[in-house]
Amino acid sequence: MNPEQATFLMHSMIGGFEFESPTTRKVIAAIPDDKSSYQPDPKAKNAKQLAWHIVASEEWFLKSVIAGGFNMEGDGEEKLPAGVSTIDDILAYYDKNVPPLVEQVRKLSGEKLAAPVDFFGVFKQPNVTYLGFLLNHSVHHRGQLSTYLRPMGSKVPSIYGGSADEPFQASAQA
């Protein structure tokens, strides 16, 4: 992949990420704080852990692309940072930390985006392709989290169209 192709791909992928982020935020916001310990199975993360996993992973993938490399230190996987304990705190953290990283990704050179980056010895891909991993990972876990909402007594927001709780409404322009 050449630098121009990598830059084009970055703009496409980061645009897709920005399109999906408000929906991810809506799903996390639908978690009732008093029921955030809900988990559908003992092997599953509870809702708050899953919400944090989404946010921490998005931050980790973006930072890793910016750095041009991956490491497991500081990925925030299990432990909530100091001052983050509620769903609102998780959303505030997301709002504060993820958008500036998106802007940093937008400023990366085509050379840095095209550079091969090792992913823990499993594979080596152009750096920009990890934005696709970021997006797929977030959408996957957002879908998982959306299945928790009704059993917790919450409403499921629209994701790719209406839901029983938030029916599809065409825009006034339609």
Let me know if residue 27 belongs to a domain.
Answer: yes
Q: Is residue 165 part of a domain?
A: no
The answer to whether residue 83 is domain-embedded is: yes
pLDDT in tens, 19-70: 999 999 999 999 999 999 999 999 999 999 999 999 999 999 999 999 999 9
Q: Indicate the pTM of the whole model.
A: 0.92
Say how many domains are in the chain: 1
φ and ψ at residue 125, rounded to 5 degrees: -130, 160
**Domain extent for 66:** 3-152
| Residue 172 is assigned to a structural domain of this protein | no
Task: Give a yes or no: residue 141 inside a domain.
Answer: yes
Nearest to 137 by CA among 20, 48, 31: 20
- 161 belongs to a structural domain: no
Burial class of residue 109, CB neighbours in 10 A (0-12, 13-18, 19+): exposed
Task: Give one DSSP letter per residue of 19-55, joined into a string.
Answer: HHHHHHHHHHHTS-GGGTT--SSTTSPPHHHHHHHHH
135 assigned to some structural domain: yes
110: tokens are 């085509």
- List the CATH number of the domain containing 35: 1.20.120.450
